[in-house]
Amino acid sequence: MRLYHNPRCSKSRQALALLLERGLEFEDYRYLEHGIAVEDMELLTSLDGIIRKQEIDKSANINLNQLADVSKLLADNPKALERPILVNNGRAVIGRPPEKILELLE
């Protein structure tokens, strides 16, 4: 289980706390430092709302309906990734609100 986490984001910190409170083992994945894990890219790009639109350069020619464009954007600019995201057993969910991450644990 991997939590895409940005410690500066309050929602991300809340999601982290939810997992810690439950005593779950997971990888606290700092995507701003390490980028998007290659093995998660296809899964993440398939999620609705995965891109933080305010982080996209307005002059960039990106079609958010094209998975290849979304994948390249995330590879080149991990800051554009919405967070927090929990990846578990081939599924992923954006933790907005943070309690949504608990859906993958049911």
Active site residues: 9
Residue with structure tokens 């309050």?
10
Q: Where does 1-106 show beta strands of DSSP type E? A: 2-4, 27-29, 85-88, 91-94
In angstroms, the CA 15 to CA 37 distance is 19
Exposed, middle or buried, 95 (CB in 10 Å: 0-12/13-18/19+)?
buried
Give the strand pairing for 85-88 and 27-29: unpaired
Give the CA distances from residue 104 to residues 60, 90, 101, in Å, rounded to whole numbers and listed in that order. 34, 10, 6
